[in-house]
Amino acid sequence: MNNEEQTPVPAKNRNHRKVPALSTAAAIALIAVGGSAYAASSMDGNGSKQPTAATSSQQAGGENDDDRDDKDQDDDRDEQQETGGYADASTEALRTAAQAALNHANAQSVTSIEVERSGYEVEVQFANHDEQDLFVAADGSITASEVEKAEAEDKNDPALDVNRLEAIKAAALTAANTPSATLDSISTSDDAPEAYEVELRTAGNQEAEINLDSALKQVNTED
């Protein structure tokens, strides 16, 4: 029998517990706030923060913020146009609204002004033939629609000379033989010999349309 002393082998520590490792994919909680989704990430087993996936309402198939803003602006403009009495229809008020729209859009010219409830609908035109409608409220606030891109074959509509508004209005009232009528809209026309299309609103809320040439003479549009 071998009497050499055997070196004892230390016993394994049976009290040691393995810590289960978290999976590499972090748990992500999606919190919906106001129609948008935000991601919250958890830590992995090493204490490192796992990257979160970008989430948004657009990925979920909903409207993005820009779309909602455009829709809200359109709704606000429609509400302004449909409520309250008609705005001041004096040519001075129209001239002021036209200039405000030009400055706001940084456009080249005005082609149409229409008196609406609580404000004015002004159509402006840019040097590249693009067009834009703006609603100038009676309080001076302005709501702009999206710019309408011009087609390759489009050309600029004639510019409306806002310094001739009073003369255009007077000529239209004379032609319509309704001196008490109210100016409803003035726009330019490229359909020669027509230069201006003027709409008037009578005391009975009836409308009359007058077409004028560049000399402010009435143009007969009947066949």
For the entire predicted model, the pTM comes to: 0.63
pLDDT digits (tens, 9 = 90+) for 152-179: 777 778 999 999 999 999 999 999 998 8
Residues 6+ apart with CB under 8 A from 200: 172, 173, 176, 178, 181, 182, 183, 184, 207, 208, 209, 210
Across 119-126, average pLDDT:
97
- As a whole number, the mean pLDDT across the chain is 76
The residue ranges of every structural domain in the chain are 86-212
E strands within the chain?
Answer: 29-33, 36-40, 109-116, 119-125, 131-137, 142-144, 182-188, 196-201, 207-212
The structure tokens listed for 132 are: 């834009």
Question: Positive or negative CA dihedral for 181, 184, 186, 190?
Answer: negative
Where is average pLDDT lowest: 35-39, 117-121, 152-156, 162-166? 35-39
Across 30-43, average pLDDT:
40
Q: Give 66's pLDDT tier (boundaries 50, 70, 90).
A: low
Across 44-67, average pLDDT:
49
134 touches 79 (CB < 8 A): no
pLDDT digits (tens, 9 = 90+) for 89-103: 999 999 999 999 999
Across 15-32, average pLDDT:
42
69 pLDDT higher than 50: yes
pLDDT, residue 60, reads: 45
